C-alpha cells in the first residue's frame, strides 16, 4: 500500500513511518521542516529512513506542494499541523492558516487525486473544559478554549464535509497527550528530562493537580494502523488515549524516578488555554480499531529516558 504521511519528519510521524516501512509500506513524506523547534531534529528523524521514502519538502498552505505529494498515493495520514495550545494563543493567525487552510488543501488534493482513504490527526483539546469524565466521542463539543483546539475541531468538520460530499472514507483520531522517543522538545516530559539532566529547575504551572491522559507513541501508532484498516462508517471519530489520567505532580514523580534525580521546581501561575483534565474513553476504538494501549506512564517514561540517554551518549 502507498501512504502519504504529512508531518512525517515529526515526532509521531517518524515513529509511524518506521512502522509502515516495517510492514513493507511505500511511503511519501510531506514536511516543511519549519522552525517551531530545531529543524535539525526533524532532519535527524528522517535520516535513518531517508533512502527508503520519498520526501517532499513543502508547506500545507501551498496547494501545489500538497498535490505533488499526493502523486501515486492510496492512503493519506494527515499528521502535519502547527501544534501546541500556548503558542496558538500567541500566533492564532498562523495556526488557522496552517491547520485549517492546510487541512482543506490536503482534503482537496486527495479528492482530486482520487484518494478515498484519509486519516486526520485531531486532538483531545477539542473537548475543552468537559465536565463529563472520561471523554467520549459522542460528547457534545460546545466550547473550545484555545485557537489550537478550534483549528482541530474545524479540521474534523472539513473532513466530514469531504466524506459526505465526495464519497471519501475519513477517520479522525483524537490524540491524548502523546509522549515517547523523538518527542518534541517543547513538550513536558521531554523538557523535564532535559532540564533535570542539565541540573536546571523545571517549571510547574499551577498546583500540579491538572491531569492528563498520557499516551505512549507506540500505542498511538497502533491506533493509526487500526484506523487505516477500518472499513466501517465512511466518516468516523475515535479517541486514542492511554486510559489513565495522571496528575502533573505524578508525572513529575515518574520522571524523577526514571532519572534517579529529584527535580528543583519553579512554581508558576496556571496558563490560559490549558484544560484542567483530559481522560479518554477508548471503548469505541477498542471495539472497532482493535486499539489496546499497553504502556503505563512509568514504563513509558523509563523507555523515554533510556532513549534520551542513549541518544546523548552518541552525541557526546
> For the chain, which residues make up each domain, given as ranges?
2-179+215-241+279-294
pLDDT, residue 109, reads 98
Contact 312, 259 (CB under 8 A): no
Predicted confidence (pLDDT) per residue in 193-224, tens digit: 999 999 999 999 988 999 999 999 999 999 99
Cα–Cα separations (whole angstroms), residue 191 to 75, 79, 182, 278, 287: 33, 22, 12, 20, 35
φ and ψ at 202, to 5 degrees?
-110, 150
CB-based contacts of 13: which residues, under 8 Å, 6+ apart? 5, 6, 7, 29, 31, 79, 80
Supply the pTM of this predicted model: 0.95
Active-site pick, 37, 95, 127, 148:
148
Predicted confidence (pLDDT) per residue in 233-257, tens digit: 999 999 999 978 999 999 999 999 9
Q: Please give the Cα distance from 191 to 184 (Å, whole number).
A: 8
Q: Averaged over 131-143, what is the pLDDT? A: 93
Fold (topology level) of 2-179+215-241+279-294: Rossmann fold (3.40.50)
Predicted confidence (pLDDT) per residue in 153-171, tens digit: 999 999 999 999 999 999 9
Mean pLDDT of the chain: 95
Active site residue 205: no
Q: Averaged over 118-127, what is the pLDDT? A: 97
If pLDDT is split at 50, 70 and 90, which confidence band does 315 have? low
Q: Please give the Cα distance from 242 to 56 (Å, whole number).
A: 32
Q: Please give the Cα distance from 133 to 128 (Å, whole number).
A: 12
Amino acid at each position: 500500500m502507498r501512504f502519504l504521511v504529512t508531518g512525517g519528519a515529526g515526532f509521531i510521524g517518524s515513529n509511524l513511518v518506521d512502522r509502515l516501512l516495517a510492514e513493507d509500506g511505500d511511503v511519501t513524506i510531506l514536511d516543511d521542516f519549519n522552525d517551531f523547534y530545531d529543524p535539525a531534529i526533524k532532519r535527524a528523524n528522517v535520516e535513518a529512513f531517508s533512502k527508503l521514502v520519498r520526501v517532499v519538502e513543502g508547506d500545507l498552505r501551498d496547494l501545489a506542494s500538497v498535490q505533488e505529494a499526493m502523486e501515486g498515493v492510496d492512503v493519506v495520514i494527515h499528521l502535519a499541523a502547527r501544534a501546541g495550545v500556548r503558542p496558538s494563543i500567541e500566533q492564532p493567525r498562523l495556526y488557522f492558516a496552517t491547520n485549517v487552510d492546510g487541512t482543506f488543501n490536503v482534503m482537496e488534493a486527495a479528492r482530486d487525486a482520487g484518494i478515498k482513504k484519509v486519516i486526520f490527526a485531531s486532538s483531545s483539546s477539542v473537548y475543552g473544559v468537559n465536565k463529563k469524565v472520561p471523554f467520549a466521542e459522542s460528547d457534545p463539543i460546545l466550547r473550545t478554549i484555545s485557537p489550537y483546539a478550534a483549528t482541530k475541531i474545524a479540521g474534523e468538520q472539513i473532513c466530514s464535509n469531504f466524506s459526505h460530499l465526495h464519497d471519501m472514507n475519513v477517520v479522525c483520531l483524537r490524540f491524548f497527550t502523546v509522549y515517547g522517543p523523538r518527542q518534541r522538545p517543547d513538550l513536558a516530559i521531554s523538557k523535564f528530562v532535559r532540564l533535570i539532566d542539565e541540573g536546571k529547575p523545571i517549571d510547574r504551572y499551577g498546583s500540579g493537580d491538572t491531569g492528563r491522559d498520557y499516551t505512549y507513541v507506540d500505542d498511538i501508532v497502533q491506533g493509526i494502523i487500526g484506523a487505516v484498516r477500518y472499513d466501517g462508517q465512511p466518516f468516523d471519530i475515535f479517541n486514542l488515549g492511554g486510559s489513565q489520567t495522571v496528575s502533573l505532580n505524578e508525572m513529575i514523580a515518574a520522571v524523577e524516578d526514571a532519572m534517579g534525580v529529584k527535580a528543583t521546581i519553579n512554581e508558576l501561575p496556571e496558563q490560559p488555554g490549558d484544560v484542567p483534565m483530559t481522560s479518554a474513553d477508548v471503548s469505541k476504538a477498542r471495539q472497532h480499531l482493535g486499539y489496546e494501549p499497553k504502556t503505563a506512564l512509568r514504563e513509558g517514561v523509563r523507555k523515554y529516558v533510556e532513549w534520551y540517554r542513549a541518544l546523548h551518549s552518541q552525541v557526546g
